[in-house]
Structure 1
Amino acid sequence: MGRRVYGSEPDDPEPGPRPGHDYVELVGGPLDGMLLDVTGWPPREVVDGALLMSEHGHFGPAGRSQYVPAEPPGSGDVGRFVWRGDVP
């Protein structure tokens, strides 16, 4: 089975990446190994990272997991977001 895209439904017959989309890999935390579709995100939002809903984080279904770019801003290599922790 291929890699899952964050936000795909569990019963989605094609939960993997789609052609023509841009993705970052989520590293660490409850969403480790998933891909996040950042197609069309303004560059500033990619640099800021993301707070993503996650039922498996420290705060359960109501919580969020914070992911930030693995590379420093301006490096030009934003291929991975690393987990920084969970927030309520």
Structure 2
Amino acid sequence: MTDLRPWIYGTDHDDPNPRTPTPGHVYVELVGGPLDGQLLDVTGFTPDERADGALLISPHGAYGPGGRSDYVPEGGDTCRWRWNGDIA
């Protein structure tokens, strides 16, 4: 049976539970682009960093391995960050 829980961005390739959120941590859902559907742990982000979003390494973006995908908060929703494009 396929595990339908979202993948957590940044988990190691050999992590036995790459879809299990850590209790007490805060996550945002990445929407659109190459990381669509993944969760990003923003527990250590400051309020300003959460307001700015993040440039995330994405091997499947427009620039291939090493490129970054820009994700920004979606309107007033603090739980979802929308893809804003890729950069080299």
Calculate the TM-score normalised by the size of structure 2.
0.90
User: How far is 1:10 from its partner?
Assistant: 2.7
Q: Which consecutive residues of structure 2, in runs of 5 or more, have no partner in the other structure?
A: none
Hey, what does 1:33 align to over in structure 2? 37
4+ residue stretches of structure 1 with deviation over 3 A? none
Q: Which consecutive residues of structure 1, in runs of 5 or more, have no partner in the other structure?
A: none
Task: Give, in whole Å, the separation in 1 of the partners of 2:13 and 2:32.
Answer: 20
Identical positions, percent: 60
Secondary structure of the corresponding residue to residue 24 of structure 1 = strand
Higher strand fraction (1 or 2): 2
Calculate the TM-score normalised by the size of structure 1.
0.90
> Aligned-residue CA RMSD in angstroms?
1.0
Hey, what does 2:17 align to over in structure 1? 14
Hey, what does 1:83 align to over in structure 2? 83
Task: Give, in whole Å, the separation in 2 of the partners of 1:11 and 1:29.
Answer: 24
Task: Give, in whole Å, the separation in 1 of the partners of 2:23 and 2:42.
Answer: 13
AA in 2 matched with 1:81: W
Greater CA deviation, 62-71 or 3-12?
A: 3-12
